[in-house]
């Protein structure tokens, strides 16, 4: 049975992991006969968003690992404990947490960086030729992990894509229901809620991503 590491970045689309993307991913892995374990960095969130109003909750702070535990029903581990030897592949869920907590993409645009723990975790898999999946805005992490020219998609947002291509990504426009595969590095990406207008739309691409990542596992 294949074992997949799923990387979360908090809980909530505006300041953490996109919850629907995360749940669809975990469900797809289980339904396709594989297992998963969830991980998140034990760091402070960039900020906390009131998801009812969309505004920053001033004076409030939350921990990415503790928030990710909400999605994983408490079963989430510190990212520093991740060992690629225990897994066949790694999948990064989207949401603004990927662009605010796992990286500074939402804040620094074309001058962004990626959290060192995140880079180390992803490179563990890349260095031993194990497949990976990135959805929504998470492909912004790719240029900091793989060589210049790595292929991926965040959908059809040319302005956002140009910021990532400036760092070395070869961006390929993609429909919400489809995936982009970089066969050289065994990477699968899908737009998810970068384009999706409903949960069922997001699910089509995410299900394809999970299926293809599993197919790439040795």
Distance between CA atoms of residues 143 and 169, nearest Å: 6
Distance between CA atoms of residues 135 and 128, nearest Å: 21
Distance between CA atoms of residues 15 and 189, nearest Å: 21
- 6-21 burial, b at 16+ Cβ within 10 Å, e below that, comes to bbbbbbbbbbbbbbbb
Q: Which of 11, 38, 136, 174 is catalytic?
A: 136
212 near 87, Cβ under 8 Å? Answer: no
Give catalytic status of residue 136 as yes or no. yes
Q: How many helices (H) and strands (E) does the chain have?
A: 7, 11
Nearest Cα to 196, choosing from 168, 174, 218?
174
Q: Give residue for tokens 């535990």.
A: 69
Residues with a known catalytic role: 136
């Amino acid at each position: 049975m294949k074992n997949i590491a799923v990387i979360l970045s908090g809980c909530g689309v505006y300041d953490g992991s996109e919850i629907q993307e995360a749940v669809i991913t975990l469900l797809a892995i289980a339904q396709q006969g594989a297992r998963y374990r969830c991980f998140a960095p034990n760091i402070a969130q960039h900020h906390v968003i009131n998801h009812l109003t969309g505004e920053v909750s001033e004076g409030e702070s939350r921990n990415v690992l503790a928030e990710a535990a909400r999605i994983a029903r408490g079963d989430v581990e510190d990212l520093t404990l991740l060992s690629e030897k225990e897994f066949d592949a790694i999948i990064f869920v989207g949401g603004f947490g990927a662009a605010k907590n796992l990286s500074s993409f939402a804040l620094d645009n074309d001058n962004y960086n990626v959290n060192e723990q995140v880079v180390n975790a992803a490179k563990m898999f890349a260095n031993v030729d194990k497949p990976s999946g990135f959805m929504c805005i998470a492909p912004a992490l790719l240029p900091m992990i793989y060589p210049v020219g790595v292929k991926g998609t965040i959908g059809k947002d040319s302005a956002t894509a140009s910021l990532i291509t400036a760092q070395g990504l070869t961006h390929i426009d993609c429909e919400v229901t489809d995936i982009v595969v970089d066969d050289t590095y065994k990477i699968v990406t899908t737009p998810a809620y970068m384009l999706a207008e409903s949960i069922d739309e997001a699910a089509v691409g995410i299900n394809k991503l999970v299926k293809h990542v599993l197919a790439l596992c040795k």
